[in-house]
Structure 1
Amino acid sequence: MKKEASAKTWNTLRNITLVIILFIFIRYLFDEDPFNDRIGWSVLILFWTFKGLFDAVEDKRSGNKKSMVANIVFVIAGLGILLWQGIQFFLYK
């Protein structure tokens, strides 16, 4: 019973986090300032990075090691892209 409640709480927090990130993406991508499109796409990459991280944690819990490793590689690639975009943003602003 307690394990089910924990899983339900985890899924709720995961979904709330991902929905908030999607709303931020939509807000920045579809506004009138063209500079914010770059921020919007970076937030979308952040969304996919968080989703990969949450999926990796779920795969670890279920014992699916191959999928977990693939998700970790995906998260590392996403963080690398975000780091690269952040450096470009601050250097060329």
Structure 2
Amino acid sequence: MKKEASAKMWNTLRNITLVIILFIFIRYEFDEDPYNDRIGWSVMVIFWISKGLFDAIEDKRNGNKKSMVANIVFVMAGCGVLIWQGIQVISSF
């Protein structure tokens, strides 16, 4: 019973976090300022990174090691994209 409640709380936390990130993406992507498009796409990458982390943690709990490793690689690639974009923004100043 306690394990079931913990899993339900985890799923609720996961879904709330992902929905908030999606709302932030929509706000930045569909506004008038064209510079905010870059911020919006960076937020979308953050969405996929957080989704990959949540999925990796869930796969670890379920014992799916191959899927967990694939999610971690996906998260690392997303972090690489964010670092690359950050370097581009910093070097443009």
TM-score, normalised by the number of residues in structure 2: 0.97
**Equivalent AA in structure 1 for residue 12 of structure 2:** T
| 1:3-82 → structure 2 map (5 Å cutoff) | 3-82=3-82
**Cα offset, 1:88, TM superposition:** 1.3
- What number of residue pairs does the alignment pair up? 93
* Equivalent in the alignment of 2:89: 89
Alpha-carbon distance in structure 2 between the residues aligned to 1:5 and 1:76: 31
Structure 2 unaligned residues grouped into runs of 5+: none
**Equivalent AA in structure 1 for residue 7 of structure 2:** A
Identity %: 80
Structure 1 unaligned residues grouped into runs of 5+: none
Alpha-carbon distance in structure 1 between the residues aligned to 2:90 and 2:9: 37
3-state SS of paired residue (1:12) = helix
Give structure 1 regions of 4+ aligned residues with deviation exceeding 2 angstroms.
none
CA RMSD of aligned residues (A): 0.7
**Equivalent AA in structure 2 for residue 81 of structure 1:** V
1:40-77 deviation per Cα after TM superposition (whole angstroms, max 9, x unaligned): 00100110010001000000000001100000000000
TM-score, normalised by the number of residues in structure 1: 0.97
**Equivalent AA in structure 1 for residue 48 of structure 2:** W
